[in-house]
Amino acid sequence: MAPPPLVDSHGRHLRDLRVSVTDRCNFRCVYCLPETEEAASFYRSRFRDLGRPSPPPGTPILREWKPRAELLSFEEIERVVRLFVRLGIRKIRLTGGEPLLRTDLPTLVQRLAMIPGIEDLAMTTNGFLFHRHARALREAGLQRVSFSLDSLDPANFRRMTGRDGCSEVLDAIRIARDLQFHPIKVNAVVIRGLNDHEIIDLADFARRENLSLRFIEFMPLDSGHTWLRDHVVPGHEILSRIRERFDIAPAAPADPAETARRWRFPDTPPESAAEIGIIAPVTEPFCGHCNRIRLTADGQVRTCLFSLIEHNLKGLLRSDTDDATLEDWIRSIVRGKEDRHHIGEPGFEQPERSMSCIGG
């Protein structure tokens, strides 16, 4: 007999598990690990333009990567995923850091793809190394892939990511199409004064290339803790700009827990996957129907992206705790899932760890 589903104290049924496989990343994006001088110059100029004091010199940016021994092994990840699936999780997304930096990732994908009950096995990647592993990942059972692409301009791409890699990411998207990953999603974090002038170009790229492109509001998850609400381009503004250029029509939600509000291009064929979505966690929170839970690469469970508390699952795994006890522990953690994040509210605290360490 199947156990009852995972339900938190607010009545939300959890069905989506984000599994980070590494905290390491080969990019240095301004909204996550802003270590480059270009990123520092952007933040200094923005703080100056807003009449606000810049973060003091020497503010720590990079955190030390976790030693390999502190990361969950593939065997441990598989065991955890099996437990969560038994408890009702149906969607698994592999994240990082950059997941393709984890050695032999297709082996993990193959192990997870064999778990009965998983309906959706996906991965989020910056795409830079995708060409090396794409076919092996597809053959191992990966169903969907999402790419990060914050700029189509090579110079601005470097400014955003700290790396030259625009052409590699564009090639990765083409490779994913050739291998029949579907749908292919592209994520763009929009930051005022940095890439918001590319909103129309990115929307047109989605339309021309038959892609699902998600515009994401800039969230306070950077390692330098330099986020300001003034950097955020609200979702309604993004939508207004797109509507000035394109005729778009609302798309019906595919899932009540969907994080993106979506629009289609009516002049594209009905079978086209071309659409834009807006994910606006800062200005239009969707916490009320959040069905996600996260597992960090070092074995901590997080019930919210902005949780200030982590729950040490790795300690239980490595102390020979039996499955029944682990299931009870998971249920107790889920019952305590926060009702919402508190961005913009008095007393909001940014998580200590950046997005790279938490997992996207």
Q: Is residue 298 part of a domain?
A: yes
The residues that bridge with 210 in the sheet, in sequence order, are: none
Helix, strand and coil percent figures for the chain, each rounded to 5:
35, 15, 50
- Read off the pLDDT of each residue in 281-310 and give the average, rounded to a whole number: 93
Question: Comparing 222 with 274, which gets the higher pLDDT?
Answer: 274
Q: Is residue 242 part of a domain?
A: yes
Question: Comparing 56 with 353, which gets the higher pLDDT?
Answer: 353
- Side chain identity at 253, as an amino acid letter? P
pLDDT (0 to 100) of residue 244: 97
Tell me the three state secondary structure of residue 111: helix
Residue 120 pLDDT greater than 50, yes or no: yes
Q: How is 223-252 classified by DSSP, letter by letter?
A: TT----GGGB--HHHHHHHHHHH---EE--
pLDDT (0 to 100) of residue 60: 46
Q: Is residue 11 part of a domain?
A: no
- Read off the pLDDT of each residue in 136-156 and give the average, rounded to a whole number: 98
Residue 260 pLDDT greater than 50, yes or no: yes
**Token representation of residue 325:** 């006890």
Which range among 37-51, 228-242, 311-325 shows the weakest confidence by mean pLDDT? Answer: 37-51
Q: Is residue 115 part of a domain?
A: yes
What is the per-residue pLDDT across 63-115, written as a single tens digit (0 to 9) for each? 567 888 999 999 999 999 999 999 999 999 999 999 999 999 999 999 999 99
Helix (H) or strand (E) holding 37: helix 37-49
- Read off the pLDDT of each residue in 140-161 and give the average, rounded to a whole number: 97
CA distances in angstroms from 67 to 22, 100, 296, listed in the order given: 10, 17, 14
- Burial label, 345 (beta-carbon count in 10 A; 0-12, 13-18, 19+): exposed
283 within 8 A of 234, measured Cβ to Cβ: yes
- Read off the pLDDT of each residue in 241-261 and give the average, rounded to a whole number: 91
pLDDT (0 to 100) of residue 345: 79
Q: Which residues does 287 contact at the CB level (< 8 Å), separation at least 6? A: 304, 338, 339, 340, 341
Distance CA 20, CA 122 (A): 12
Distance CA 73, CA 207 (A): 40
Q: Is residue 175 part of a domain?
A: yes
Q: Is residue 1 part of a domain?
A: no
Domain span at residue 294?
16-358
91 within 8 A of 16, measured Cβ to Cβ: yes
Q: Is residue 6 part of a domain?
A: no
pLDDT (0 to 100) of residue 56: 54
Question: Comparing 14 with 346, which gets the higher pLDDT?
Answer: 14
The dihedral formed by the CA atoms of 255, 307, 278 and 144, expressed in degrees to the nearest 10: -60
Task: Count the domains in the chain.
Answer: 1
CATH of the domain at 67: 3.20.20.70
pLDDT (0 to 100) of residue 55: 61
Percent residues over pLDDT 90 in the chain: 73
- Read off the pLDDT of each residue in 122-144 and give the average, rounded to a whole number: 98
If you search the block for the tokens 């490779």, which residue do you land on?
Answer: 175
CA angle 182, 359, 63 (to 5 degrees): 140
What is the per-residue pLDDT across 181-239, written as a single tens digit (0 to 9) for each? 998 999 999 999 999 999 999 999 999 999 999 999 999 988 777 888 999 999 999 99
How many secondary structure helices (H) and strands (E) does the chain include? 11, 12
Q: Is residue 101 part of a domain?
A: yes
Name the pLDDT band for 44 (thresholds 50, 70, 90). Answer: confident
Name the pLDDT band for 350 (thresholds 50, 70, 90). Answer: confident
Number of residues that this document lists for the chain: 360
